[in-house]
Amino acid sequence: MPATNTASTYGTVTKAFHWLTALLILTVIPLGLIAEDLAFDAPLKVPLFSAHKTLGVIIFFVALARILWALTQTKPGDLHPDRRLETLVAHIVHWLLYVALVVVPLSGWLHHAATSGFAPIWLPIGQSLPFIPQSETLAEFFSGLHWVWSKILIVSILLHIVGALKHQIIDKDATLTRMWFKQSKVPETSEREKAIMAPIFALGIYIVAAGGAAAAGMLSHGDREPAIALEQVTSDWMVTGGTIGITVRQLGNPISGQFDDWTSVIEFDPTATGTLGHVTTTIAIGSLHLGSVSDQAMGTDFFAADTFPTATFDADITADGSTYLATGTLKIKDITLPITLPFVLNLDGDTAEMAGSLALDRRDYQIGQSMADESSLGFDVRVNINLTATR
Ligand code: HEM
Ligand code: HEM
């Protein structure tokens, strides 16, 4: 059996590539569909997604090798060139498959690289990609493309298999046997001529599908409706900027995020003795952006944002040498616990810049009770606060 294609049959390398890809693709698709369907805290969700991604990245490289190989090869001629429409459809489907082999894994991989957290790729490469910043907007974009293009792939495979079965069962011709390994008699054909229609048509389908997905709002971040939007507050010191961020460890990897909506009422007199002032910070839980797990963090087992839309930090400010302390309580959900936030303060006339950090144990606030294992979700949650306020 020749390794290379001839004008009438596929060579062993082409056949090996074809059936290896078919096997990998027909494995990776159910992995993706099943993993997607599982509940967030189902024990199999993360390993199935990791298997999906790992296999997907492998498919990407196999596909590149396959395409490079195909470019060097003669294309066996069509068995029924007279059936023009049927032949054109078969060619379009082949092109849809070739394009999918690149764009489907690539869009999945770009989505993975642009977001943080969740299931890792089980390879030493590819957790992040060059020129791809961590961005939820970008992640949403690629996730939408991955969804819609993987559906084109699924439909194309179905058409492709139905076509192959039709040739085998109804036409009883050599279409399937000449892609199989056993040497069999195949009719002489002359090399297929290069045609431009089918690849253009196939590419057009991917572009139109992407346009349709964009128009349907699938490629942009559907902002979560926050259960509450905080009212502006007035106080002695007005906050003019800053961030309240958290870092958690998921599957051993840090994921950082921040709350976009919070207010602080600050009374503070640096010349006072004893208690220097008081701070009340209210945080809209629904404004949290936390990599790929922002939505899950709102769930009943985590922040339960629908029932408890805000968290409140209420503390007195004192000084201990050059370190300041905010000592009071932090209420998350319906649990109020004592807490001390040490911070440094830079006072410049009527402008104050503060930066502080503390670690919380999520179990104290009954967050992620279903994830009792620290290796899936770390117990410590690091909170970083910095803000600028003017008098
Ligand atoms: C059970 C599943 C499958 C069967 C029975 C099957 C069968 C075939 C057959 C018989 C051909 C030769 C067609 C011809 O000579 O005109 C072919 C070609 C092809 N198949 Fe499949 N296939 C399967 C799955 C897949 C999958 C999953 C992919 C990729 C995603 C794929 C991609 C291709 C491509 C790109 C060609 C064109 C090869 C070329 O001419 O360069 N196939 N397949
Ligand atoms: C040829 C390779 C691949 C195929 C055929 C494929 C197909 C699929 C399918 C069918 C789904 C389920 C979508 C649904 O809900 O209907 C899915 C989801 C997903 N895939 Fe893939 N995939 C591939 C490669 C990859 C790669 C390489 C990655 C990442 C490295 C990846 C990441 C994901 C993610 C994160 C999801 C969850 C849905 C989302 O939020 O976008 N996939 N994939």
Residue 82 and residue 193: Cα distance in Å, rounded?
14
186 φ/ψ angles, rounded to the nearest 5 degrees: -120, 145
Ligand 2 nearest-atom number relative to CA 113? 30
Residue 231 lies in a domain: no
Residue 348 and residue 1: Cα distance in Å, rounded?
83
Residue 88 lies in a domain: yes
CA angle 216, 303, 222 (to 5 degrees): 10
Q: Which of 29-33, 252-256, 348-352 has the lowest mean pLDDT?
A: 252-256
pLDDT tens for each residue of 84-142: 999 999 999 999 999 999 999 999 999 999 987 678 999 998 888 989 888 888 999 99
63 φ/ψ angles, rounded to the nearest 5 degrees: -65, -45
pLDDT at 184 over 80: no
- Ligand 1: residue whose CA is nearest its atom 31: 22
Same domain, 150 and 274: no
| Alpha carbon of 13 to ligand 1 centroid (Å) | 14
- Tell me, using a 6 A CB cutoff, whether residue 54 lines ligand 2: no
Left if phi > 0, otherwise alpha if psi is -120 to 50, otherwise beta: which for 135?
Answer: beta
Residue 28 lies in a domain: yes
Residue 288 lies in a domain: yes
Structural domain for 322, as ranges: 238-390
Query: Amino acid identity of 367?
Result: I
Same domain, 30 and 175: yes
- Tell me, using a 6 A CB cutoff, whether residue 45 lines ligand 2: no
Same domain, 150 and 211: yes
pLDDT at 227 over 70: no
- Ligand 1: residue whose CA is nearest its atom 3: 161
Same domain, 327 and 198: no
Own/partner pairs for 166-174, CB < 8 Å, 24+ apart? Answer: 167/79, 171/80, 173/79, 173/80, 174/79
Place of tokens 């253009």: 200
Residue 224 lies in a domain: no
Residue 206 lies in a domain: yes
Q: Identify whether the C-beta of residue 119 lies closer than 8 Å to the C-beta of residue 294.
A: no
The pLDDT value given to residue 136: 82
74 versus 136: which is more confidently predicted?
Answer: 74
Q: CATH no. for residue 314?
A: 2.40.128.110
Same domain, 211 and 244: no
Residue 223 lies in a domain: no
pLDDT tens for each residue of 198-210: 999 999 999 999 9
Same domain, 267 and 317: yes
Q: Work out whether strand 288-289 and strand 277-284 pair parallel, antiparallel, or are unpaired.
A: unpaired
Residue 238 and residue 105: Cα distance in Å, rounded?
48
Would you state the structure tokens that stand for residue 98, as one six-digit string? Answer: 């070739």
Number of folded domains that form the chain: 2
| Alpha carbon of 381 to ligand 2 centroid (Å) | 29
224 φ/ψ angles, rounded to the nearest 5 degrees: -60, 135
> Which of 290, 289, 285, 283 minimizes the C-alpha distance to 226?
285
- Ligand 1: residue whose CA is nearest its atom 17: 179
Confidence of residue 37 (pLDDT cuts 50, 70, 90): very high
Same domain, 314 and 197: no
| Alpha carbon of 176 to ligand 1 centroid (Å) | 9
pLDDT at 190 over 90: no
The pLDDT value given to residue 226: 62
Same domain, 57 and 113: yes
- Ligand 1: residue whose CA is nearest its atom 10: 176
Residue 138 lies in a domain: yes
The domain boundary, picked from 215, 230, 252, lies at 215
The domain boundary, picked from 215, 248, 283, lies at 215
Same domain, 78 and 188: yes
The pLDDT value given to residue 148: 97
Sequence-ordered list of residues with C-beta below 8 angstroms from that of 194, at least 6 positions apart, any chain: none
Same domain, 198 and 323: no
143 φ/ψ angles, rounded to the nearest 5 degrees: -65, -40
Query: Amino acid identity of 6?
Result: T
Q: Which residues line ligand 1 (CB under 6 A)?
A: 18, 21-22, 25-26, 70, 75, 90, 94, 97-98, 101, 157, 160-161, 164, 175-176, 179
| Alpha carbon of 108 to ligand 2 centroid (Å) | 5
HEC string for 10-65 = CCHHHHHHHHHHHHHHHHHHHHHHHHHHCCCCCCCHHHHHHHHHHHHHHHHHHHHH
- Ligand 1: residue whose CA is nearest its atom 27: 22
Same domain, 180 and 293: no
As a whole number of Å, the end-to-end CA separation of the chain is: 85
Same domain, 152 and 243: no
Q: Identify the nearest ligand to the CA of 149 by its number.
A: 2
Sequence-ordered list of residues with C-beta below 8 angstroms from that of 286, at least 6 positions apart, any chain: 224, 225, 226, 227, 228, 261, 298, 305, 309
